[in-house]
Amino acid sequence: MKIRALLVTLSLALAAGTAARADETPLGERMEKMGGAFRALRRQITDASKNADSLAKVATIRKNAEESLKFDPALAKDQPADKQKKFIADYQAEMKKFIELCGKLEAALKANNNAEAEKLCAAMGDAQKAGHKQYKKDDKKKK
Ligand code: HEM
């Protein structure tokens, strides 16, 4: 009986986990993919022997950033109705700038200019911070 109770608890916990993941926004999903690639990229950006793999990581980041343009940040709905359009347009402009950084980083890596690549990678980290500050819901503060 004890084992049965344990199994029931376990399957309920699993179901809850799946539901929580399905709740994620389409934009959040793209961001998660960018996050994985960016973490790995940062670790190896100065290592020229890894430039081919770094280019693959940037391609993943760029692809997901481009797809991110199609989705509105969840925070847009919290803006006053007359400000939402501008909020979304500003978000898209920031994302386009971020995509331009991806292009510059690709050029630096192709030229084996890792010093420049390192700077661009830092600039992408700054863009991430700024983008999140302005357009991402802060779950901890909201609750
Ligand atoms: C290296 C660059 C970036 C990385 C690695 C990154 C990573 C992430 C991660 C891991 C999340 C959490 C996803 C989740 O909640 O499931 C997130 C959310 C978010 N990010 Fe980024 N991000 C980057 C750049 C940006 C930029 C440039 C912007 C805006 C121009 C942006 C806007 C957002 C927004 C709005 C969310 C919340 C998702 C939503 O509203 O649905 N991010 N990001």
* 102-129 pLDDT per residue, tens: 999 999 999 999 999 999 999 999 999 9
Mutate to test the pocket of ligand 1, among 27, 31, 33, 141 (most ligand atoms within 8 A of CB): 31
pLDDT digits 0-9 by tens, 25-37: 999 999 999 999 9
* Closest C-alpha to 138, from 73, 93, 87: 73
Helix or strand or coil: residue 138?
A: coil
Q: How far is the CA of 136 from the centre of ligand 1 (A)?
A: 7
* Closest C-alpha to 63, from 29, 108, 112: 29
6 located within any domain: no
Instruction: Confirm or reject: Cβ of 27 under 6 Å from ligand 1.
Output: yes
Report angle CA 44, 138, 59 to the nearest 5 degrees.
30
11 located within any domain: no
110 located within any domain: yes
Q: Give the rounded distance of the alpha carbon of 46 from its chain centre.
A: 22
Amino acid at the residue 30: R
56 located within any domain: yes
Residue 123: CATH number of its domain: 1.20.120.10
9 located within any domain: no
Distance CA 51, CA 117 (A): 10
For residue 115, the enclosing domain spans: 26-138
8 located within any domain: no
65 located within any domain: yes
Calculate mean pLDDT across residues 131-141.
86
Q: Which atom of ligand 1 is nearest to the CA of 94?
A: 30
Instruction: Confirm or reject: Cβ of 98 under 6 Å from ligand 1.
Output: yes
102 located within any domain: yes
Number of domains in the chain: 1
Distance CA 105, CA 114 (A): 9
